[in-house]
């Protein structure tokens, strides 16, 4: 974890969460699934005027009504309480009641008309011999309200089939205008500006629209665990609030720069000014965006004005970018480290060194004989594996630990900022894409071994964040590395299957099979990593 002393902003305690529950009532139509939504009051304290699913806070009485509800074998006590709360809220807000008579019949609109929405819910049902249909309510997702908001909820998004013979009628106090709508239509109307929805509703509908029927939704939820769990984070994009879930590429960067959720960090890519990630870490992105570089190559500046700085990956030989690195450090550069010798990483080292009167050393590993002609590199001094590069001033200390990580390139290294648990991953780990392994300088087995090495480093140094040479900061570093390794092995299995299916095939034949989930325009690039997989498969004797 980063040291509190290095965080950019004074942290505050987010508002506590209140337990709640909401339910997506679904029905099948000839055009696909429809979901029941309603508009919140314009005076509501939370999401006024937004179209939502019925729901609200969990009451103590909900947990006391278990005996009045059906229950699945795997449905825990908390899940049942949440289901009962959602059933109660849908009744109070929309007059929809998920309950059955003693003979198993669903209640009808006529039955509901005899009930008072303002009176105690469970007692009324008990008096009329109605059994709540908790077993028919499944968990779809789990949302926790964003940390920056003053009112926060911990709320499962539940799903249930709309009972036949009932017609929703809004209470006209909290909820208005009940409407059945296809998820895709709701999203289109929101985009057009006439169907306002908040972030969790939008993201839930985006996922729901992929299901063909109510049954497929309920089947997907049958394992009793939410399909996703999210506590979104927000940053600034184009000067406006922009919210992201855990799988979105900016999420980790927002967690690093603003752990408590304050909306203070800009996510706009630009090359004019360095971006502060911590007090002792800045990122300056080179103006070389492209298919292979994403928004550009990230140069990182570690240190402070007191300790001096280490520049990681000065980038291409671009005069303006090199000048900005010099200006951002005031020329107080103690060392320049190149993670590897590729032309978007190392050529800026010599020009940056030349600007500094004291000529800081250029550190890294020399390019191997297998490197391409445009990737020749010779440092002033070769780094040692596990070497420590230290910046100090009085009580301040910032230590970079070197880890050799061949694979993407034979001379690739990563660095760990030990005191803050940060991994500078160069091109070994990227945000938003997998790196290219281009033989002969790139080698797949070495790449996978290096991932294992980085995984162990995460355990040793409690690394939470990865700072890649392209893209935003990645959070949950151990999980990100594990997922990347699993993705590589899954791709390798597809390559092996393609080789077995077409034993006399060429790389061009195999790429169409092994990368059929990838845009064909990217296949010329994928061929490089395909060759690396083929080399490894043949070396291991996995395909005859």
Q: Check: CB of residue 70 under 8 Å from CB of residue 133.
A: yes
Query: Which CATH code fits 17-231?
Result: 3.90.79.10
**Cα–Cα distance between 471 and 486 in angstroms, integer?**
21
Q: What does the pLDDT read at residue 544?
A: 62
Contact 439, 405 (CB under 8 A): no
Asked if residue 513 has pLDDT above 90, the reply is yes
Cα gap 458→477, rounded to integer Å:
7
pLDDT at 7: 97
How far apart CA 332 and CA 356 sit, in angstroms, is: 8
Task: Tell me how long the chain is.
Answer: 544
Contact (CB, 8 A) for 139 and 104 = no
440 prior amide bond cis, ω within 30: yes
Read off the pLDDT of residues 323-363 as tens digits, 9 standing for 90 and up. Answer: 999 999 999 999 999 999 999 999 999 999 999 999 999 99
Give the whole-angstrom CA distance, residue 24 versus residue 364: 56
| CATH 3.90.79.10 location in the chain | 17-231
Task: List the beta bridge partners of residue 19.
Answer: 154
| Residues 500, 502, 505, 506, CA torsion sign | negative
Q: How far is CA 524 from CA 257, 382, 493, in A?
A: 37, 34, 20
**Residues 230 and 141 sit within 8 Å (Cβ to Cβ):** yes
* Mean pLDDT (whole number) for 300-314: 98
pLDDT confidence of residue 43: 79
Chain centroid offset of residue 392 CA: 35
Mean of the per-residue pLDDT values of the chain: 95
Task: Report residue 104's pLDDT band, with 50, 70 and 90 as the boundaries.
Answer: confident
Residue 47: per-residue pLDDT: 78
Q: Which helix (H) or strand (E) holds 300?
A: strand 298-304
Element (H, E) at 508: helix 507-514
The CATH class of the 273-475 domain is alpha beta
Both tokens of 80, joined, read: 């049942």
Dig out the tokens for 42 from the structure.
């314009």
Ranges in the chain annotated CATH 3.60.15.10:
273-475
Query: Which tens digits make up the pLDDT trace of 458-501?
Result: 999 999 999 999 999 999 999 999 999 999 999 999 999 999 99
Token pair recorded at residue 317: 């030989």
* pLDDT tens-place string over residues 49-70: 899 999 999 999 999 999 999 9
The CA radius of gyration of the chain, in Å to the nearest whole number, is 28
CA-CA distance, 186 to 206, in Å (whole number)?
10
> Which whole-number Å values give the CA distances from 521 to 316, 470, 506, in the listed order?
26, 21, 18
Q: Sorting pLDDT into bands at 50, 70 and 90, what band is 105?
A: confident
Which tens digit of pLDDT belongs to each residue from 380-413? 999 999 999 999 999 999 999 999 999 999 999 9
pLDDT of 117 reads: 85
The pLDDT of residue 281: 98
């Amino acid at each position: 974890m980063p040291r509190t002393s290095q965080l950019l902003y004074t942290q505050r305690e987010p508002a506590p969460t209140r337990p709640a529950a909401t339910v997506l009532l679904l029905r099948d139509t000839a055009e696909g699934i429809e979901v029941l939504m309603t508009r919140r009051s314009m005076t509501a304290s939370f999401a006024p005027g937004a179209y939502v699913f019925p729901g609200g806070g969990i009451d103590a009485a909900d947990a006391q009504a278990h005996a009045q509800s059906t229950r699945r074998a795997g449905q825990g006590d908390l899940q049942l309480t949440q289901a009962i709360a959602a059933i109660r809220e849908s009744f109070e807000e929309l007059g929809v009641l998920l309950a059955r008579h003693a003979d198993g019949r669903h209640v009808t609109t006529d039955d509901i008309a005899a009930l008072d929405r303002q009176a105690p819910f469970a007692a009324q049902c008990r008096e009329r011999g109605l059994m709540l249909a908790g077993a028919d309510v499944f968990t779809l997702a789990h949302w926790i309200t964003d940390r920056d908001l003053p009112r926060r909820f911990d709320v499962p998004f539940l799903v249930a089939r709309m009972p036949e013979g009932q017609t929703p009628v809004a209470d006209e106090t909290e909820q208005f205008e009940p409407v059945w709508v296809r998820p895709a239509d709701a999203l289109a109307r929101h985009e057009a500006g006439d169907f306002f929805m908040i972030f969790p509703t939008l993201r839930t509908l985006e996922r729901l629209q992929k299901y063909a029927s109510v049954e497929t939704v309920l089947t997907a939820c049958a394992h009793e665990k939410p399909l996703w769990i999210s506590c979104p984070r927000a940053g600034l994009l184009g000067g406006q609030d922009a919210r992201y879930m855990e799988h979105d590429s900016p999420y980790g960067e927002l967690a690093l720069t603003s752990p408590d959720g304050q909306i203070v960090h800009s996510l706009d890519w630009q090359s004019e000014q360095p971006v502060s990630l911590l007090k002792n870490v800045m990122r300056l992105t080179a103006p070389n965006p492209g298919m292979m570089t994403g928004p550009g190559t990230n140069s990182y500046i570690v240190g402070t004005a007191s300790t001096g700085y280490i520049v990681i990956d000065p980038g291409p030989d671009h005069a303006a970018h090199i000048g900005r690195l010099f200006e951002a450090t005031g020329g107080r550069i103690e060392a320049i480290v190149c993670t590897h010798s590729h032309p978007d990483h190392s050529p800026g080292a010599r020009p940056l060194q030349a600007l500094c009167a004291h000529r800081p050393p250029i550190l890294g590993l020399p390019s191997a004989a297998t490197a391409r002609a445009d990737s020749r590199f010779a440092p002033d001094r070769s780094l040692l594996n596990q070497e420590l590069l230290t910046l100090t001033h009085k009580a301040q200390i910032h230590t970079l630990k070197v880890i050799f990580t061949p694979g993407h390139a034979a001379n690739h290294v990563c660095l760990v900022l030990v005191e803050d648990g940060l991994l500078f991953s160069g091109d070994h780990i990227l945000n938003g894409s997998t790196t290219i392994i281009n033989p002969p300088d790139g080698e797949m087995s070495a790449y996978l071994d290096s991932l294992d090495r980085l995984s162990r480093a995460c355990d040793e140094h409690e690394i939470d964040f990865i700072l890649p040479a392209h893209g935003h900061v990645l959070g949950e570093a151990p999980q990100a590395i594990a997922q990347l390794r699993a993705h590589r092995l899954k791709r390798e299995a597809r390559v092996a299957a393609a080789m077995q299916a077409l034993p006399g095939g060429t790389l061009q034949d195999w790429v169409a099979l092994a990368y059929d989930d990838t845009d064909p325009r990217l296949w010329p690039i994928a061929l490089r990593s395909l060759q690396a997989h083929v080399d490894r498969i043949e070396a291991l004797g996995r395909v005859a």
